[in-house]
Chains A and B, each alone.
Chain A
Amino acid sequence: MEKNTMKHIIFIITAFFIGSGNIFAANLSYPGDCKASKLTKAAKKNGCSVEAGGEHWKVYKNGNVITTIPHSVKENNTCRAIIKTLNKEY
Protein backbone atom coordinates (compact mmCIF):
# COMPACT_ATOMS: atom_id res chain seq x y z
CA MET A 1 0.00 0.00 0.00
CA GLU A 2 1.31 3.45 -0.89
CA LYS A 3 2.44 5.79 1.86
CA ASN A 4 -0.16 8.45 0.90
CA THR A 5 -3.01 5.94 0.92
CA MET A 6 -1.97 4.79 4.41
CA LYS A 7 -1.96 8.39 5.59
CA HIS A 8 -5.48 8.86 4.20
CA ILE A 9 -6.74 5.74 5.98
CA ILE A 10 -5.20 6.80 9.30
CA PHE A 11 -6.71 10.27 8.87
CA ILE A 12 -10.18 8.84 8.16
CA ILE A 13 -10.02 6.44 11.14
CA THR A 14 -8.85 9.23 13.47
CA ALA A 15 -11.58 11.54 12.19
CA PHE A 16 -14.18 8.81 12.72
CA PHE A 17 -13.20 8.29 16.37
CA ILE A 18 -13.17 12.02 17.08
CA GLY A 19 -16.52 12.34 15.34
CA SER A 20 -18.08 9.37 17.09
CA GLY A 21 -16.97 10.87 20.40
CA ASN A 22 -19.20 13.83 19.64
CA ILE A 23 -22.10 11.56 18.75
CA PHE A 24 -22.02 9.46 21.90
CA ALA A 25 -20.87 12.01 24.48
CA ALA A 26 -23.09 14.72 25.89
CA ASN A 27 -20.18 17.16 25.73
CA LEU A 28 -22.20 19.91 27.32
CA SER A 29 -20.18 22.93 28.27
CA TYR A 30 -20.68 25.53 30.96
CA PRO A 31 -21.96 28.23 30.64
CA GLY A 32 -22.64 27.98 26.89
CA ASP A 33 -25.17 25.14 27.18
CA CYS A 34 -27.16 26.58 30.09
CA LYS A 35 -30.48 26.39 28.28
CA ALA A 36 -33.37 24.13 29.27
CA SER A 37 -33.81 22.93 25.66
CA LYS A 38 -30.13 21.95 25.30
CA LEU A 39 -30.00 20.19 28.65
CA THR A 40 -33.24 18.25 28.18
CA LYS A 41 -32.23 17.25 24.64
CA ALA A 42 -28.92 15.88 25.96
CA ALA A 43 -30.73 14.22 28.85
CA LYS A 44 -32.91 12.17 26.51
CA LYS A 45 -29.91 10.23 25.19
CA ASN A 46 -28.00 7.20 26.37
CA GLY A 47 -30.73 5.40 28.26
CA CYS A 48 -31.92 8.49 30.10
CA SER A 49 -35.47 9.75 29.99
CA VAL A 50 -37.02 13.06 30.93
CA GLU A 51 -40.30 13.62 32.72
CA ALA A 52 -42.04 16.85 33.65
CA GLY A 53 -42.51 17.29 37.37
CA GLY A 54 -43.50 20.44 39.19
CA GLU A 55 -41.65 23.33 37.52
CA HIS A 56 -38.67 21.21 36.53
CA TRP A 57 -37.71 18.24 34.40
CA LYS A 58 -36.73 15.04 36.15
CA VAL A 59 -33.99 13.07 34.38
CA TYR A 60 -34.17 9.31 34.94
CA LYS A 61 -31.59 6.62 34.34
CA ASN A 62 -32.31 2.99 35.25
CA GLY A 63 -35.40 4.11 37.13
CA ASN A 64 -33.58 6.62 39.33
CA VAL A 65 -33.63 10.41 39.15
CA ILE A 66 -30.07 11.49 38.38
CA THR A 67 -30.77 15.22 38.22
CA THR A 68 -33.53 17.79 37.87
CA ILE A 69 -33.50 20.64 35.38
CA PRO A 70 -35.45 23.79 36.21
CA HIS A 71 -37.72 25.10 33.43
CA SER A 72 -35.82 28.32 33.54
CA VAL A 73 -32.09 27.60 33.40
CA LYS A 74 -29.64 30.31 34.38
CA GLU A 75 -25.89 30.50 34.03
CA ASN A 76 -25.05 29.57 37.59
CA ASN A 77 -23.88 26.75 39.78
CA THR A 78 -27.18 24.84 39.42
CA CYS A 79 -26.61 24.59 35.70
CA ARG A 80 -22.94 23.73 36.17
CA ALA A 81 -23.86 20.82 38.45
CA ILE A 82 -26.52 19.53 36.02
CA ILE A 83 -24.02 19.62 33.14
CA LYS A 84 -21.45 17.80 35.26
CA THR A 85 -24.00 15.06 36.02
CA LEU A 86 -25.17 14.71 32.42
CA ASN A 87 -21.62 14.63 31.04
CA LYS A 88 -20.75 11.93 33.55
CA GLU A 89 -23.58 9.74 32.26
CA TYR A 90 -22.16 9.53 28.75
Chain B
Amino acid sequence: MDLLTLWTIRHRDEFHILMRDGILRADVDQVDKDFRLAYQWMGKQLAKKIEPPLGCVYPLWAWWRWQGGQHPRPDLRSSAHLPKGAPGVRIEFTIDLSEVLLSDFDAWHAVLNNHYYAPDEANYNTYLHIIKGKSEHEINKINQDSWRNIFISSLRDVDESISIQAVFWELKKSQISDVKFFRAR
Protein backbone atom coordinates (compact mmCIF):
# COMPACT_ATOMS: atom_id res chain seq x y z
CA MET B 1 0.00 0.00 0.00
CA ASP B 2 1.16 3.48 -0.92
CA LEU B 3 -0.75 5.89 1.30
CA LEU B 4 -0.98 9.53 0.32
CA THR B 5 -2.07 12.43 2.51
CA LEU B 6 -4.45 14.71 0.64
CA TRP B 7 -6.50 17.81 1.46
CA THR B 8 -9.92 18.58 0.06
CA ILE B 9 -11.74 21.89 0.48
CA ARG B 10 -15.48 21.42 0.90
CA HIS B 11 -18.50 23.49 1.79
CA ARG B 12 -19.56 22.88 5.38
CA ASP B 13 -22.84 21.34 4.19
CA GLU B 14 -20.88 18.59 2.46
CA PHE B 15 -18.94 17.95 5.65
CA HIS B 16 -22.23 17.44 7.50
CA ILE B 17 -23.30 14.93 4.83
CA LEU B 18 -19.99 13.12 5.28
CA MET B 19 -20.49 13.00 9.05
CA ARG B 20 -24.11 11.86 8.70
CA ASP B 21 -23.65 9.23 5.97
CA GLY B 22 -20.05 8.24 6.61
CA ILE B 23 -19.27 8.75 2.93
CA LEU B 24 -19.13 11.64 0.48
CA ARG B 25 -19.41 11.55 -3.30
CA ALA B 26 -19.67 14.35 -5.86
CA ASP B 27 -23.12 15.86 -6.01
CA VAL B 28 -24.09 16.22 -9.68
CA ASP B 29 -26.21 19.28 -8.87
CA GLN B 30 -23.21 21.06 -7.35
CA VAL B 31 -20.91 20.50 -10.32
CA ASP B 32 -19.87 23.76 -11.98
CA LYS B 33 -21.91 23.86 -15.20
CA ASP B 34 -19.11 25.66 -17.05
CA PHE B 35 -16.75 22.74 -16.56
CA ARG B 36 -19.04 19.73 -16.84
CA LEU B 37 -17.36 18.40 -19.99
CA ALA B 38 -13.89 18.75 -18.51
CA TYR B 39 -14.97 17.11 -15.24
CA GLN B 40 -16.65 14.28 -17.14
CA TRP B 41 -13.45 13.74 -19.10
CA MET B 42 -11.50 13.54 -15.85
CA GLY B 43 -14.08 11.10 -14.48
CA LYS B 44 -13.61 8.88 -17.54
CA GLN B 45 -9.84 8.84 -17.01
CA LEU B 46 -10.30 7.90 -13.36
CA ALA B 47 -12.76 5.17 -14.36
CA LYS B 48 -10.01 3.61 -16.50
CA LYS B 49 -7.96 3.19 -13.32
CA ILE B 50 -10.64 2.32 -10.80
CA GLU B 51 -14.27 1.47 -11.38
CA PRO B 52 -16.65 4.18 -10.18
CA PRO B 53 -19.34 3.43 -7.63
CA LEU B 54 -22.71 2.90 -9.29
CA GLY B 55 -24.08 6.14 -10.74
CA CYS B 56 -20.89 8.14 -10.13
CA VAL B 57 -19.82 10.27 -13.09
CA TYR B 58 -17.98 13.12 -11.44
CA PRO B 59 -15.02 12.58 -9.13
CA LEU B 60 -14.09 14.51 -6.00
CA TRP B 61 -11.09 16.82 -6.09
CA ALA B 62 -8.26 17.21 -3.59
CA TRP B 63 -4.74 18.53 -3.37
CA TRP B 64 -1.63 16.43 -3.01
CA ARG B 65 0.62 19.46 -3.50
CA TRP B 66 -1.37 22.69 -3.38
CA GLN B 67 1.52 25.00 -4.20
CA GLY B 68 4.19 22.47 -4.96
CA GLY B 69 6.17 20.35 -2.56
CA GLN B 70 6.98 23.32 -0.30
CA HIS B 71 3.32 24.09 0.48
CA PRO B 72 1.32 20.90 -0.05
CA ARG B 73 -1.51 21.82 2.34
CA PRO B 74 -3.92 24.53 1.11
CA ASP B 75 -3.45 27.77 3.03
CA LEU B 76 -6.87 28.87 4.28
CA ARG B 77 -5.80 32.52 4.35
CA SER B 78 -5.62 32.38 0.58
CA SER B 79 -8.68 33.55 -1.35
CA ALA B 80 -10.95 31.70 -3.76
CA HIS B 81 -10.96 28.21 -2.28
CA LEU B 82 -14.73 28.73 -2.18
CA PRO B 83 -17.01 31.68 -2.99
CA LYS B 84 -16.20 34.64 -0.72
CA GLY B 85 -17.80 34.32 2.70
CA ALA B 86 -18.83 30.68 2.26
CA PRO B 87 -18.40 28.42 5.30
CA GLY B 88 -15.78 25.88 4.36
CA VAL B 89 -13.78 23.04 5.75
CA ARG B 90 -10.36 21.69 4.88
CA ILE B 91 -10.36 17.94 5.32
CA GLU B 92 -7.08 16.09 5.60
CA PHE B 93 -7.30 12.41 4.78
CA THR B 94 -5.29 9.45 3.65
CA ILE B 95 -5.97 7.38 0.59
CA ASP B 96 -4.20 4.63 -1.25
CA LEU B 97 -2.40 5.67 -4.40
CA SER B 98 -4.30 3.01 -6.34
CA GLU B 99 -7.55 4.91 -5.71
CA VAL B 100 -6.47 8.31 -7.01
CA LEU B 101 -5.42 9.94 -10.23
CA LEU B 102 -2.80 12.67 -9.84
CA SER B 103 -2.38 15.45 -12.37
CA ASP B 104 -0.48 18.67 -12.91
CA PHE B 105 -2.90 21.47 -11.97
CA ASP B 106 -1.46 23.94 -14.45
CA ALA B 107 -1.57 21.39 -17.26
CA TRP B 108 -5.20 20.63 -16.32
CA HIS B 109 -6.06 24.04 -17.78
CA ALA B 110 -5.46 22.57 -21.24
CA VAL B 111 -8.56 20.45 -20.59
CA LEU B 112 -10.53 23.27 -18.94
CA ASN B 113 -9.68 25.67 -21.75
CA ASN B 114 -9.89 23.05 -24.48
CA HIS B 115 -6.45 23.48 -26.03
CA TYR B 116 -3.33 21.44 -26.74
CA TYR B 117 -1.12 20.49 -23.81
CA ALA B 118 2.52 21.09 -24.62
CA PRO B 119 4.93 20.21 -21.82
CA ASP B 120 7.71 22.28 -23.42
CA GLU B 121 8.60 24.56 -26.32
CA ALA B 122 9.99 21.77 -28.50
CA ASN B 123 6.73 19.87 -28.16
CA TYR B 124 4.73 23.00 -28.98
CA ASN B 125 6.80 23.67 -32.12
CA THR B 126 6.29 20.08 -33.25
CA TYR B 127 2.55 20.54 -32.65
CA LEU B 128 2.47 23.67 -34.83
CA HIS B 129 4.20 21.69 -37.57
CA ILE B 130 1.85 18.70 -37.25
CA ILE B 131 -1.41 20.69 -37.38
CA LYS B 132 -0.51 22.47 -40.62
CA GLY B 133 -3.22 21.68 -43.17
CA LYS B 134 -5.28 19.65 -40.70
CA SER B 135 -9.03 20.15 -40.32
CA GLU B 136 -10.54 21.58 -37.15
CA HIS B 137 -11.84 18.13 -36.27
CA GLU B 138 -8.37 16.60 -36.65
CA ILE B 139 -6.80 19.36 -34.59
CA ASN B 140 -9.37 18.84 -31.82
CA LYS B 141 -8.48 15.16 -31.78
CA ILE B 142 -4.75 15.95 -31.52
CA ASN B 143 -5.49 18.44 -28.74
CA GLN B 144 -7.53 15.94 -26.76
CA ASP B 145 -4.94 13.21 -27.19
CA SER B 146 -2.36 15.52 -25.61
CA TRP B 147 -4.35 15.68 -22.38
CA ARG B 148 -3.22 12.21 -21.35
CA ASN B 149 0.15 13.83 -20.61
CA ILE B 150 -1.19 15.96 -17.75
CA PHE B 151 -1.07 12.98 -15.38
CA ILE B 152 1.65 12.16 -12.88
CA SER B 153 2.61 8.62 -13.68
CA SER B 154 5.30 8.16 -11.03
CA LEU B 155 5.83 9.75 -7.63
CA ARG B 156 9.57 9.58 -8.18
CA ASP B 157 11.26 12.66 -9.58
CA VAL B 158 8.12 14.80 -9.36
CA ASP B 159 8.97 18.46 -9.97
CA GLU B 160 8.78 20.15 -6.54
CA SER B 161 7.50 23.39 -8.03
CA ILE B 162 4.28 22.11 -9.58
CA SER B 163 0.84 22.03 -8.02
CA ILE B 164 -0.63 18.56 -8.11
CA GLN B 165 -4.33 17.79 -7.82
CA ALA B 166 -5.94 14.44 -7.14
CA VAL B 167 -9.29 12.98 -8.12
CA PHE B 168 -11.02 10.02 -6.50
CA TRP B 169 -14.55 8.67 -6.31
CA GLU B 170 -15.47 8.85 -2.65
CA LEU B 171 -14.28 9.99 0.73
CA LYS B 172 -15.02 7.92 3.82
CA LYS B 173 -15.27 9.29 7.33
CA SER B 174 -12.72 6.70 8.48
CA GLN B 175 -10.08 8.20 6.15
CA ILE B 176 -10.11 11.61 7.87
CA SER B 177 -7.07 12.61 9.92
CA ASP B 178 -7.73 16.31 10.48
CA VAL B 179 -10.44 18.94 9.92
CA LYS B 180 -10.17 22.72 9.89
CA PHE B 181 -13.19 24.99 9.52
CA PHE B 182 -12.85 28.40 7.88
CA ARG B 183 -14.75 31.14 6.11
CA ALA B 184 -13.66 31.69 2.53
CA ARG B 185 -11.89 34.96 1.81
Q: A residues bordering B, Cβ < 8 Å?
A: 52-56, 58, 64-65, 67-68, 70-72, 74, 76-78, 80-82, 85
A-B pairs with beta carbons under 8 Å apart, 19 shown: A52-B80, A53-B32, A53-B80, A54-B81, A55-B80, A65-B35, A68-B109, A68-B112, A70-B106, A71-B80, A72-B67, A72-B163, A76-B106, A76-B118, A77-B119, A78-B106, A81-B113, A82-B109, A82-B113
Q: Are B105 and A55 touching (Cβ within 8 A)? A: yes
Instruction: Provide the main secondary structure of the chain B interface.
Output: loop
Q: Are A77 and B116 touching (Cβ within 8 A)? A: yes
Q: Are B163 and A67 touching (Cβ within 8 A)? A: no
Q: Are A81 and B115 touching (Cβ within 8 A)? A: yes
- Extra contacts, 17 of them, besides A52-B83, A78-B109 (Cβ < 8 A), are A53-B80, A56-B109, A56-B112, A70-B106, A72-B67, A72-B163, A76-B106, A76-B118, A77-B110, A77-B118, A78-B107, A78-B113, A80-B124, A81-B109, A81-B113, A81-B115, A82-B109
In Å, the complex CA distance between A85 and B112 comes to 13
Q: Is B84's CB within 8 Å of the partner chain A?
A: yes
Q: B residues bordering A, Cβ < 8 Å?
A: 32, 34-35, 67, 79-84, 105-107, 109-110, 112-113, 115-119, 124, 163
Known: A52-B80, A54-B81. Is A70-B105 also a contact (CB below 8 A)?
Answer: yes
What residues on A are CB-neighbors of B81 within 8 Å?
54-55
What residues on B are CB-neighbors of A54 within 8 Å?
32, 80-82
In Å, the complex CA distance between A81 and B32 comes to 22
What residues on B are CB-neighbors of A74 within 8 Å?
106
What residues on B are CB-neighbors of A82 within 8 Å?
109, 113
**Which chain B residue has the least Cβ–Cβ distance from A74?**
B106
**Which chain B residue has the least Cβ–Cβ distance from A68?**
B112
What residues on A are CB-neighbors of B67 within 8 Å?
72
